[in-house]
C-alpha cells in the first residue's frame, strides 16, 4: 500500500502544523483547566476549511480525502487534544450522512457540518449500552408524518454545542440489529433535552453531556437511510471514523515525545543533561519506535479508505490502527511524565494533560478490548 504524501497533503500538513503550534498550543492548558469548549479554535478550523476536509466539494468540503483528515487531526492533537475532538466528532456526525444520506439530506445537513456552520454530535451510548450497541433502549415509534423518540443517551460529545445530532435507536426491537434506524435532529427539536456537562479526566475542553428524548417528534424525512438500516450504517461509520481516533492518539503521542526530548536535553542531573544517560536514550528510542510504527498503520488506514473504500480488510486495518495507536499514546505519554519526574506530575508542563487526554482514545469509538474481538473475528472467519 503506497501512502507517500502528495505535495498537496504536505502543504496541508505544514499549514495545520503552523496553525496548531501558533494558535492551539498556547491556549491548550487554559482550555483544559477551565473545561470550556474552544469556540475560537472551532472558528479557526472552520475559516481554514478544515472541518470538512474529507467531504466532497459539492457538499461544502474540500474533497481531500481521509488521509488528509488524519493529517489535520494528528497535527491538531499534537498541540491540543481538546481541539482535536472537534475534528473527530465532526467526522463522526458527518459520516452517516455521507454513507446513507439522501441527496437532499446531504445538501441540507452534511453541507452545514462540512462548512462549519455548526458543530455536530452523534448519540449512541446509553447507560446500559456502551460496547453492546444492541443493548440500547431508546426507541422511535411511528406516528403521523414521523416518529416519536423516547429514551436517553449518555457521554455524548458536543451535545451542548451541536446544531445537528445523529441519533440511533430502535424502530422495531423485535428485529434485533435489523430493527435499528438512524435519525438526524436539529438542536431545537421539541422533546430533546440536553443535560449538564460532564467533568472528565481528560479532553476537558470537549463538551460531553446526556441527551434525553421525551416524545421527541422527528419528521419522516429526517430518517437517514431506509428503516432498519441504522446498525449497518453505524458499523460502517466506525470503519471510517476509527482511524480518526487513531490519528488523534498519534498526535497526542507525538506531542508528548516532542516535549520529552526537549526536556531531556535541557534538564541536568549529576552534572549532565538527562539525554546523555543511556537509560534515557533507550527510553526515548522506544517512544519514537512506537510513534513511527503507529504512524505507519494510521496512514495506511487513511490511504486504503481513499484508494479502495470497499476493500474487505478495512474493518481489520482500521480497528488495528485505533487499538495500536491509542495504546502507544498511553505508553508514550506515561513515559513522558516519567522523564519529567516530579515536574511531569504538575500542570506546569503539558505532559500530564497529554497523559489524561490519551486515555480516552483507548475507550471511545469501541474500547481496545472490542477492537481485539473485531480483529480476531476477522482473522478466524
Mean pLDDT of the chain: 96
Give the CB-side neighbour count of residue 303, counting CA atoms within 13 A.
Answer: 13
pLDDT value of residue 153: 98
As beta bridge partners, residue 192 has 213
Catalytic residue among 75, 227, 352, 365: 365
pLDDT digits (tens, 9 = 90+) for 8-46: 999 999 999 999 999 999 999 999 999 999 999 999 999
Confidence band of 343 (pLDDT split at 50, 70, 90): very high
pLDDT digits (tens, 9 = 90+) for 276-327: 999 999 999 999 999 999 999 999 999 999 999 999 999 999 999 999 999 9
- 103 and 156 share one domain: no
Beta-carbon contacts of residue 268 (< 8 Å; ≥ 6 apart): 274
- 352 and 373 share one domain: yes
With pLDDT > 90 as the criterion, what percentage of the chain qualifies?
A: 96
Q: Rounded to the nearest 5°, which phi and psi values hold at 214?
A: -125, 100
Domain-embedded: residue 2: no
With pLDDT > 70 as the criterion, what percentage of the chain qualifies?
A: 99
- 368 and 289 share one domain: yes
- 92 and 15 share one domain: yes
Confidence band of 134 (pLDDT split at 50, 70, 90): confident
Q: Rounded to the nearest 5°, which phi and psi values hold at 187?
A: -65, -25
H-only helix segments in 180-229:
none
Q: What is the extent of the structural domain holding 156?
A: 121-228
- 147 and 199 share one domain: yes
- 216 and 239 share one domain: no
pLDDT value of residue 3: 63
Q: 151-190 burial by CB neighbour count: b if 16+ within 10 A, else e?
A: bbbbbbbbbbbbbbbbbbbbbbeeeeeebbbbbbbebebe
As beta bridge partners, residue 209 has 156, 197
What average pLDDT score do residues 251-278 get? 95
pLDDT value of residue 16: 97
Confidence band of 2 (pLDDT split at 50, 70, 90): low
Domain-embedded: residue 153: yes
Number of domains in the chain: 3
Which of 119, 135, 167 terminates a domain? The answer is 119
Confidence band of 130 (pLDDT split at 50, 70, 90): confident
Domain-embedded: residue 1: no
- Catalytic, 365? Answer yes
Q: What angle do CA 33, 51, 12 make, to 5 degrees?
A: 100
We report the CATH number of the domain holding residue 347 as: 1.20.140.10
Amino acid at each position: 500500500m503506497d501512502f507517500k504524501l502528495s505535495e498537496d497533503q504536505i502543504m496541508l500538513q505544514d499549514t495545520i502544523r503552523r496553525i496548531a503550534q501558533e494558535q492551539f498550543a498556547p491556549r491548550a492548558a487554559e482550555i483544559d483547566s477551565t473545561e470550556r469548549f474552544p469556540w475560537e479554535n472551532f472558528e479557526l478550523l472552520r475559516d481554514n476549511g478544515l472541518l470538512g476536509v474529507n467531504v466532497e466539494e459539492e457538499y461544502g468540503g474540500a474533497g481531500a480525502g481521509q488521509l488528509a483528515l488524519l493529517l489535520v487531526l494528528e497535527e491538531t492533537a499534537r498541540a491540543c487534544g481538546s481541539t482535536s475532538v472537534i475534528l473527530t466528532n465532526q467526522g463522526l456526525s458527518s459520516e452517516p450522512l455521507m454513507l446513507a444520506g439522501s441527496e437532499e439530506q446531504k445538501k441540507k445537513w452534511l453541507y452545514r457540518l462540512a462548512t462549519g456552520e455548526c458543530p455536530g454530535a452523534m448519540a449512541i451510548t446509553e447507560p446500559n449500552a456502551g460496547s453492546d450497541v444492541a443493548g440500547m433502549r431508546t426507541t422511535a415509534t411511528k406516528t403521523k408524518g414521523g416518529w416519536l423518540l423516547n429514551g436517553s443517551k449518555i457521554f455524548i460529545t458536543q451535545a451542548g454545542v451541536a446544531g445537528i445530532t445523529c441519533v440511533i435507536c430502535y424502530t422495531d426491537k423485535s428485529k434485533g440489529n435489523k430493527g435499528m434506524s438512524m435519525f438526524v435532529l436539529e438542536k431545537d427539536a421539541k422533546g430533546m433535552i440536553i443535560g449538564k456537562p460532564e467533568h472528565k479526566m481528560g479532553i476537558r475542553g470537549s463538551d460531553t453531556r446526556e441527551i434525553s428524548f421525551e416524545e421527541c417528534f422527528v419528521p419522516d424525512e429526517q430518517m437517514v437511510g431506509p428503516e432498519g438500516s441504522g446498525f449497518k450504517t453505524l458499523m460502517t461509520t466506525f470503519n471510517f471514523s476509527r482511524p480518526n481516533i487513531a490519528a488523534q492518539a498519534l498526535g497526542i503521542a507525538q506531542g508528548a515525545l516532542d516535549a520529552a526530548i526537549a526536556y531531556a536535553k535541557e534538564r541536568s542531573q549529576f552534572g549532565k543533561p538527562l539525554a546523555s544517560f543511556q537509560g534515557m536514550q533507550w527510553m526515548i528510542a522506544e517512544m519514537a519506535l512506537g510513534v513511527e510504527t503507529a504512524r505507519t498503520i494510521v496512514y495506511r488506514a487513511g490511504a486504503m479508505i481513499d484508494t479502495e473504500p470497499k476493500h474487505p480488510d478495512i474493518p481489520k486495518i482500521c480497528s488495528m490502527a485505533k487499538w495500536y495507536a491509542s495504546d502507544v499514546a498511553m505508553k508514550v505519554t506515561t513515559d513522558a511524565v516519567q522523564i519529567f519526574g516530579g515536574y511531569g506530575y504538575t500542570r506546569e508542563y503539558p505532559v500530564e494533560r497529554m497523559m489524561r487526554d490519551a486515555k480516552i482514545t483507548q475507550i471511545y469509538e469501541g474500547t481496545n478490548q472490542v477492537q481485539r474481538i473485531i480483529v480476531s473475528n476477522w482473522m478466524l472467519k
